[in-house]
A and B are shown apart, each in its own frame.
Chain A
């Protein structure tokens, strides 16, 4: 503990300096690492992740959030977003859409090379799209995001044309995501195993070593030249290296941050976020993810939730508000929308989610679940009203799992037997693939409201090449399908907003989902870390401009 005693006053001085600096300059800025003078080069930063260790460091393969977190440090996309959500240049400098919306032409930067020396050019873009779309890659997130790209034509070395099968109003948003980031075409030719172990990009860091079950070491890309248009600072990146550790246990992760063993941790627990507020040596970075809100999906594809009355009864029977209040210590706000609160087009309908246990009981009676067995569970034709709820312990923080336990207790009072099955990620995917669930909570991050098409269009009941299907509520509604297709093809902003509102109304009023809160994305950092910011795209932190105070 002596190290902590010594560091406290110094930390306090740094914070005081930061406060002075902030007072001196009027712009607060959206980044968490307030500058306290000139950035310092060098040093090794330790990041401790509570997310599951990826089985592949190439986010084209599969495509989940843990992959996005780390890949943000070594891969870059064609475009990015600024803090206002406007699309800005990155590896592509400008772009034009044809009048019919079926062809897009991108001009590419001509001064960028991948870290293996391969130049970044139109052929590289073509190779990346082909890699994501190749069924052998088993891509899920990237595959769905690029589904409408029919052909990629290299017009010249640094001009590329994307030909679409249908107009795609979400194309630029899709391309900004790290799941479709650019990798060296030469590196992509290696076996998938090799590419998974060390993907090659154009980013500020390079994958150096991967000690499985422990950490990934990223080292500085000395030739880095391609920050997104909104990046600040020169001579990026500042850090020599990043040690990306996997510490699944949240208490150990927080302890590592407190002791200085780690500089930044993710998946911070609500109670530790609260207690860090009074600790000057720890700062918070809150970056709610775009795309879908965290929600519980009610599997309408099989009994008993194929009956809308039973779905509504479940939603009316459980009290989520009080649980969120007590479990999240005010760090999470209740959502009543399929979309994240950072999505401007999100529609909120709180009235659909007021708790009404009497109405729930009536609905269940009406639906034929009007008897109760000895344990108080409702019964119909001798069958108990049982709901299976597989919970991915890797994707749900403990507070969320406790919330599910409380939902279980509430549902029991109403006569539902909810069986919680805590599972590791692969068993959880297995349960979903087997249609072995009635309730499930699956985070889904995507830039823009087009995520609704991926989550609720009936085509998404079909599995992607990875075997994952995104429409876990198994919504199969022709009118909704039509709205979502129209919305994704129109570029008229007003019409698009109207279509998405109608689509969300169908999803909410059909009682397919129980929205909980934004996908929680709280990071805690030591106050010695500066210049850390979350990408405005999928809210992953980027260390391109980060530096450690000496």
Chain B
């Protein structure tokens, strides 16, 4: 009981972090249980309601087919978040393998892997993702994988240096002297020490992944209309930006808010993680 309270006191969020936390919770709720926040059908067309400005009946207004933008933004959260989480998982998963191989492997393997990662790193991430989509063809799955692959090199470098630092620590040395197996050392000593950093990376990466996936949909390479995906909604609204600002504003706001919230939380975790270490 007292330990929990101590924990809560120690984790004193700043105002920005509190707001970010609320935003993330809302997005999570929207993703897991969209009909709680917006009971309507995000694909329901209503000719008579097209191009309505925001009003109490349509909080965020309606689009060119009379679909309610609030409902679409809420239902779009699951799509954007799912793709974001999946892409980050692919990126970090791949990076973990690369990072451990480079960090713990023999010198030649480290050299090879590091050079490979550096070559990939030289490409702007989005370009790498586009390259992948050119080969595999557009779609939600390929854009998810593309973003995952494109983010992996950046993570791999960080993980490698974490792994090397931990592997050189005295307690790992001690375990080795005690004759512990290689895998046992990785599982019991190195991984737990890298995982905190991984968690921070994942939170930060989520924001970035959401932006990238939205960018790809915006370019018409991800989700296909009329799917309620934020990037695709932004692209559809772009045509009407001269007269109907709400069609781009609210999906754009959702992208900015979720990416910013993930980044604020990630930075907060990073800071505490560092001061704890």
CB within 8 Å of B: which residues of A? 249-251, 254-255, 269, 271-272, 275, 319, 322-323, 325-327, 393, 398-399, 401-402, 405-406, 408-410, 420-422
Contact = CB atoms under 8 A, between A and B. Distances in A.
A269 B48 CA distance: 20
A249 B238 contact: yes
A393 B225 CA distance: 12
Contacts of A326: 47-48, 50-51, 64-66
Interface of B is mostly: loop
13 contacts: A251-B239, A251-B241, A255-B242, A272-B242, A275-B243, A399-B239, A401-B225, A402-B65, A405-B45, A406-B45, A406-B47, A408-B226, A422-B224
Given A250-B239, A251-B242, A319 B47 contact: yes
B121 interface: no
Contacts of A319: 47
Given A271-B244, A393-B220, A251 B238 contact: yes
B185 interface: no
Given A399-B64, A406-B45, A422-B225, A271 B238 contact: no
Contacts of B244: 271
B172 interface: no
A275 B220 CA distance: 27
B226 A269 contact: no
A322 B65 CA distance: 10
Given A323-B47, A327-B65, 6 more contacts: A275-B243, A323-B65, A398-B236, A399-B239, A405-B226, A406-B65
A14 to B, nearest CB: 23
Sort chain B's interface into a size bin: 20 to 34
Interface of B: 43-45, 47-48, 50-51, 64-66, 220, 224-226, 236, 238-244
Contacts of B47: 319, 322-323, 325-326, 406
A93 B46 CA distance: 56
A254 B242 contact: yes
Contacts of B224: 420-422
Contacts of A325: 47
Contacts of A410: 45
Contacts of B236: 398, 402
Contacts of B44: 409
A421 to B, nearest CB: 8
Contacts of B225: 401, 405, 420, 422
A399 B241 CA distance: 13
A272 B50 CA distance: 16
B240 A271 contact: yes
A396 to B, nearest CB: 12
Given A420-B225, A422-B225, A272 B243 contact: yes
